[in-house]
Amino acid sequence: MSDLPGIDEALALVLAHARRLPLEDVAITAAAGRVLAEAAHAVIDLPPFASSAMDGYAVRAADTPGPLAVVGHSAAGRPEQRAVGPGEAFVISTGAVVPDGADAVVPVERTTGEVVVEEVAAGENVRPQGGDTRAGDIVVEAGSVLGPPQVSALAAAGVAVVRCARRPRVAVLATGSELRAPGEPLALGEIYESNSVLIAAQLEQSGAQATVFPPVADDPAATLAALERALELDVLITSGGVSVGPHDLVRATLAELGATEVFWRVAVKPGKPIAFAVRGDTLVFGLPGNPVSALVGLELFVRPALRALQGAREPGPHYLPGRLAQAVPRNAQRDELVRARRDGDQLAPLSGQDSHMIVRAAAANALVLVPRGDGDLAQGSQVSYLQI
């Protein structure tokens, strides 16, 4: 058992095989969730002009305190053409151009009638041109995942199109003669198929495009036919059929189809029987059938691989620090991912840690890494966890 690769070793093997996919242009309106392949530079200074941070009056700071002779109005998107002269002021709105001649904005609250009651300093309430970024400066670095703030920053800086690796095309194939779709009646021995939706949902979060194949029975010919088609995409994720039972056909069938196994089984709980293989540039993950094992395999290995295929600088998994709210027994041979509920930095393990208990796992928002060892990991121990 101890000769099995650990989580880090297995992940390194996966990432070593994940080559970035070809690049394409992506409109900024469709770029959320994608990974930026090349640094994106500001097209303009931002703000593009000195603008007001307040609703008030644009003035010459040297004229304050004192009376206001309001001679113009600069509204957002509607600048005045003339300049502010000595003793003059413009009504100005937030985001409007600070007119030539003016060097400060007096908020309405600091005026009474038409008199500025307090001195304002030059530059006060003025957002300088280029104060956020300069034209040509990097807005988002290569390899960044484009979340809401990043796409907004790029749009603000005038970037309409970005370069990204194309989305990984991923085949999803559940195996098992016992599997039925929810909504259908179940005969004795059958269960509802829940891994395809798990995998597809996770792929959606990872910027990948899922093609979900109909589940295949534990039959050699059917498995061969399904795997053959599924292997044509960038990534194939199977579930079930990678253990040692007589009906576990996935690994042998993959080998028959020319896939080379890189590893089978990892010193992790749950999810030990996970297989990873490659055929050409296609990555193949054989996830175990138990839903919680599949979930753990997806978080530990598949998500980082998908991010690496998209050229992410930090493909993850991204562990966060926390503390155990109660003692947890350690597994002697395998690092364990314990389903837990996080409250602040406190991580409370849930009851029902068996790998088939997906309903129990659905109450978790954290996978706590409990390194292998003897005895308990004490309450209050510093641990790492993954948000799920």
Asked if 289 touches ligand AMP (CB under 6 A), the answer is yes
Among residues 207 and 297, whose Cβ is nearest to ligand AMP? 297
Cis peptide before 65 (omega within 30 of 0): yes
Considering only residues 137 to 176 of the shown chain, the ones binding Mg ion according to CB under 5 A are 176
Give the nearest residue (CB) to Mg ion. Answer: 240
Q: How far is the CB of 176 from Mg ion (least distance, A)?
A: 4
* 85 conformational bin, left if phi > 0, alpha if psi -120 to 50, beta if neither: beta
CA 17 to chain centroid, in Å, comes to 21
Asked if 288 touches Mg ion (CB under 5 A), the answer is no
Among residues 277 and 386, whose Cβ is nearest to Mg ion? 277
Strand, helix or coil for residue 329: strand
Considering only residues 215 to 254 of the shown chain, the ones binding ligand AMP according to CB under 6 A are 239-241, 243
Asked if 331 touches ligand AMP (CB under 6 A), the answer is no
In degrees, to the nearest 5, what angle opens at C-alpha 384 toward C-alphas 194 and 329?
80
Asked if 240 touches Mg ion (CB under 5 A), the answer is yes
Nearest-angstrom CA–CA distance, 12 and 170: 21
Q: Which of 253, 290, 310, 353 binds ligand AMP (CB under 6 A)?
A: 290
Q: Which of 23, 121, 191, 363 binds ligand AMP (CB under 6 A)?
A: 191
Asked if 291 touches ligand AMP (CB under 6 A), the answer is yes
Among residues 74 and 238, whose Cβ is nearest to Mg ion? 238
Longest Cα separation, the chain: 92
Nearest-angstrom CA–CA distance, 94 and 96: 6
Nearest-angstrom CA–CA distance, 2 and 295: 23
Nearest-angstrom CA–CA distance, 340 and 343: 10
The interface partner of residue 195, options being ligand AMP, Mg ion, none and the CB cut-off 5 to 8 Å by kind, is ligand AMP
Cis peptide before 317 (omega within 30 of 0): yes
Among residues 5 and 288, whose Cβ is nearest to ligand AMP? 288
Spatial CB neighbours of 21, under 8 Å, sequence gap ≥ 6: 165, 166, 168, 234, 309, 310, 311
Span of 71-79, 106-114, 286-294, 370-378 interacting with Mg ion by CB under 5 A:
286-294
Asked if 286 touches Mg ion (CB under 5 A), the answer is no
Q: Extract the tokens encoding 345.
A: 């930095």
Among residues 144 and 290, whose Cβ is nearest to ligand AMP? 290
The interface partner of residue 243, options being Mg ion, ligand AMP, none and the CB cut-off 5 to 8 Å by kind, is ligand AMP
Nearest-angstrom CA–CA distance, 243 and 81: 76
Strand, helix or coil for residue 237: strand
Asked if 195 touches ligand AMP (CB under 6 A), the answer is yes
# of chain residues touching Mg ion (CB under 5 A)? 4
Task: Name the residues that contact Mg ion, by CB under 5 A.
Answer: 176, 240-241, 289
Q: Which residues bind ligand AMP (CB under 6 A)?
A: 174, 176, 178-179, 191, 193-195, 239-241, 243, 288-291, 356
